[in-house]
């Protein structure tokens, strides 16, 4: 195919927003006699006037040769072999043009469902573009010649604010079901509309996500919810029936927790925008809470045995879908179990406010209040108690005890 080629001035690309390390990698590859381009999110965001957070480079230089040119690099991956070039402040990911045409080649492995298990057959730029998934991520940019190269109408889709696959949506999803999540993630991030062909294919093939390695789905969940567009991601996942595939604990009964999720994800997005730390454990505590809350009836009268049994069951089931690293599982359980302590007020409440997990548990309680109005009084008391000095804490506890005795 003959691509559309534009000068970067047409889009107002500001080269000052390009990583100096990425520019140096491209320059060195080109001086070594190879082609090299920025591809994907880097050029997409530059065209949209955004500041890209990273820059992926694609070249006709093969991994072993890249490794020779850049001593500060290493080859990683089996499914898709690529090179990480390490600098003091960032890693530049560099891949080789792929062909992917000859499924009988030793470098390509496709299973009986059409899923690509390995794709390391090198090709040309024209072949490489059709191994990519989304049109808006298949635009190439040579910052040395200032050329923007578009084979698939990605520029038009950027203008029309549309998410489209390259090729037939159903086939591309079967090759790699994670493309379902990628389509939703970019639609959420960019506020784009998902093409009708993709929405139909998602409805047919979304269950294939469960065939994916749990570790890979875990990484995609993190990108969905901890990149500043958690609320949009949730709404789109729910709209396309994917949320219940990734988190199937209550089937279609999440509606009663709609406000809970919206409140939580809005706060998550606010924290991201303000540059505050986001905790993976807290995210999963939010995502998995409905099942724990409903089964244990924590809003009314908690059955402790059932509470702990449900926690174990929910975590075990989720690990089979999106594996959660062990370092976060204890945090998740602590946040949940500490919810009980907010209703069991006594002298130990003082040490509770000084514990490492108190702040996370308290923030979680605030989110619960969005759908549990009965918690308002408790939230108000704990809000005053947590900031009080020791003497005032004692007075608050004594007043609470007197009020409780008076009611008896």
Question: Is 297 a residue of the active site?
Answer: no
Least confident piece of the model among 55-69, 116-130, 381-395: 116-130
Query: How many Å apart are CA 196 and CA 193, to the nearest integer?
Result: 9
pLDDT of res. 67: 95
Provide the CATH number for the domain around residue 136.
Answer: 3.30.460.10
Q: How many CB atoms lie within 10 A of CB 384?
A: 12
CB count, 10 Å around CB of 403? 9
Q: Are 131 and 66 in contact (CB under 8 A)?
A: no
* Band of residue 107 on the pLDDT scale cut at 50, 70, 90: very low
Residue 300 within any structural domain of the chain? no
Inside any domain, residue 79: yes
Cα angle vertex 223, ends 220, 229, to 5°?
135
What's the pLDDT at 250? Answer: 77
On whether the pTM is more than 0.75, the answer is yes
Specify whether 54 is catalytic.
yes
The per-residue pLDDT for 50 is 86
Please check whether residue 120 lies inside any domain of the structure: yes
**In which domain, by residue range, is 100 found?**
1-160
pLDDT(111) > 80: no
Percentage, residues of the chain above pLDDT 70:
92
Mean pLDDT of 114-124: 63
Residue 345 in domain: no
Whole-number Å distance between alpha carbons of 335 and 96: 45
What are 30-80's pLDDT values in tens digits? 999 999 999 999 999 999 988 898 999 999 999 999 999 999 999 998 767
The model's pLDDT over 322-340, given as tens digits with 9 standing for 90+, comes to 999 988 999 999 999 999 9
- Greater confidence, 283 or 79? 283
Give the Cα separation of 169 and 182 in Å (integer): 13
Among residues 8, 56, 142, 195, which one is catalytic? 56
| Half-sphere exposure for 103 (CA within 13 Å, toward CB) | 8
Rounded Cα gap, residues 149 and 170, in angstroms: 26
The answer to whether residue 268 sits within a structural domain is: no
User: Which tens digits make up the pLDDT trace of 239-274?
Assistant: 999 999 999 987 656 678 999 999 999 999 999 999
CA dist 391 to 48, 351, 387, 398, Å? 56, 14, 12, 11
Q: pLDDT category, 403, cuts 50, 70, 90?
A: confident
In a domain, 83, yes or no: yes
C-beta separation of 321 from 207 below 8 A: no
Residue 154's alpha-carbon distances to 49, 195, 199, 316, in angstroms, are: 16, 13, 19, 41
Tokens of 211: 């065939």
What whole-number distance in Å separates Cα of residue 310 and Cα of residue 315? 8
Average pLDDT, the chain: 91
- When divided into structural domains, the chain yields a total of 1
Distance separating alpha carbons of residues 101 and 123, to the nearest angstrom: 9
Asked if 255 is an active-site residue, the reply is: no
Among candidate residues 4, 54, 334, 363, the one labeled active-site is 54
Give residue 100's pLDDT band: very low, low, confident or very high (50, 70, 90).
low
Residue 328 domain-assigned? no
- Both tokens of 399, joined, read 């007043």
> Which entry of 128, 133, 157, 195 is annotated as an active-site residue?
133
What pLDDT is stored for residue 299 in this prediction? 77
Q: Where are the alpha helices (DSSP H) in 119-178?
A: 125-129, 154-160, 169-175
What was the pLDDT predicted at 342? 93
């Amino acid at each position: 195919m003959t691509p559309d080629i534009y000068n970067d001035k047409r889009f107002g690309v500001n080269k000052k927003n390009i990583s100096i390390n990425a520019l140096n990698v491209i320059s060195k590859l080109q001086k070594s006699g190879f082609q090299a381009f920025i591809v994907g999110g880097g050029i997409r965001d530059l065209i949209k006037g955004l500041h890209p957070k990273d820059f992926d480079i694609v070249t006709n230089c093969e991994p072993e040769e890249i490794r020779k040119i850049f001593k500060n690099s290493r080859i990683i991956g089996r499914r898709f072999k690529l090179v990480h070039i390490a600098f003091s402040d960032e890693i530049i990911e560099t891949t080789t043009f792929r062909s992917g045409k000859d499924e009988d080649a030793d470098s390509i492995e496709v299973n009986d469902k059409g899923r690509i298990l390995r794709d390391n057959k090198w090709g040309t730029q024209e072949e490489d573009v059709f191994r990519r998934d989304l049109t808006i991520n298949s635009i190439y940019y040579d910052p040395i010649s200032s050329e923007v190269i578009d084979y698939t109408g990605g520029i038009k889709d950027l203008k029309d604010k549309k998410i489209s696959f390259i090729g037939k949506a159903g086939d591309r999803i079967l090759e790699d079901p994670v493309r379902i999540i990628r389509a939703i993630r970019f639609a959420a991030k960019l506020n784009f509309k998902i093409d009708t062909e993709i929405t139909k294919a998602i409805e047919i093939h979304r269950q294939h996500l469960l065939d994916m390695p749990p570790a890979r789905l875990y990484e995609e969940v993190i990108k969905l919810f901890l990149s500043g567009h958690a609320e949009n991601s949730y709404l789109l996942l729910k709209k396309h029936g994917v949320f219940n595939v990734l988190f199937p604990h209550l089937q279609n009964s999440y509606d009663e927790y709609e406000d809970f999720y919206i409140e939580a994800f809005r706060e998550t997005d606010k924290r991201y925008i303000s540059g505050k730390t986001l905790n993976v454990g807290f995210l999963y505590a939010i995502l998995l809470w409905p099942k724990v809350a409903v089964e244990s009836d924590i809003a009314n009268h908690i059955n402790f045995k059932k509470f702990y049994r449900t926690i174990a069951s929910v975590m075990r089931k989720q690990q089979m879908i999106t594996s959660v690293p062990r370092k976060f599982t204890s945090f998740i359980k602590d946040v949940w179990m500490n919810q009980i302590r907010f209703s069991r007020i006594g002298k130990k409440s003082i040490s509770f406010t000084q514990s490492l997990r108190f702040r996370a548990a308290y923030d979680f309680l605030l989110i619960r209040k969005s759908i549990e109005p009965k918690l308002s009084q408790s939230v108000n008391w704990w809000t005053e108690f947590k900031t009080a000095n020791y003497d005032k804490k004692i007075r608050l506890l004594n007043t609470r005890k007197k009020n409780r005795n008076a009611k008896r």
